[in-house]
Amino acid sequence: MKEEISFTEIEDVMNRFRRLYKTLYDLFNQKTKDFIMTPQQFQLLNIVRQHTGINQRELAEKLKITPATLSVRIKRMENAGFLIRQIDKDDKRNFVLTLTVQGEKLLDMSFEHMRKNVAMMFAGLSSEELDVLRSCLDRIQHNLDRKKEDIHVKD
């Protein structure tokens, strides 16, 4: 029989998650400032790279932001010369997005810095420890997904 986890233990883990997230965010934010880009812009450019020709509606869904918010971000990235927005040949009501050569170069440089930070972050952990961490995070995500489904069912 599994032992009940105390709220104090859960609170400690949640505080560690928050501290970890803040540290990662601050580190990544500092690195992306070196490249004149926010973490949100980096994420946007990375998704466009992975899904060349993605339309704005699909991109907004992947980023989990409103189309209006996305429109502002896209305009900034266009003005900076990292992104091209073109009318969709198949549906003239939509725009599709692609990276410029400058956008590709910026992402390549950013990824190199990120790889170094990620390697540093997981230094000293064995493959087995990473497997345990992955398994625990998957279980937490599963629990949250179930709760989310319960909420949607009740609505």
Rounded Cα–Cα distance for residues 48 and 53 (Å): 7
Rounded Cα–Cα distance for residues 53 and 66 (Å): 19
Strand order in the sheet with 95-99: 54-55, 95-99, 83-87
CA distances from 131 to 115, 128, 134, 137 (A): 19, 5, 5, 10
Does the predicted TM-score (pTM) go above 0.75?
no
> Length of the chain, please?
155
Phi, psi of 97 (to 5 degrees): -120, 140
| Per-residue pLDDT tens over the stretch 15-56 | 999 999 898 878 777 755 666 677 788 899 999 999 999 999
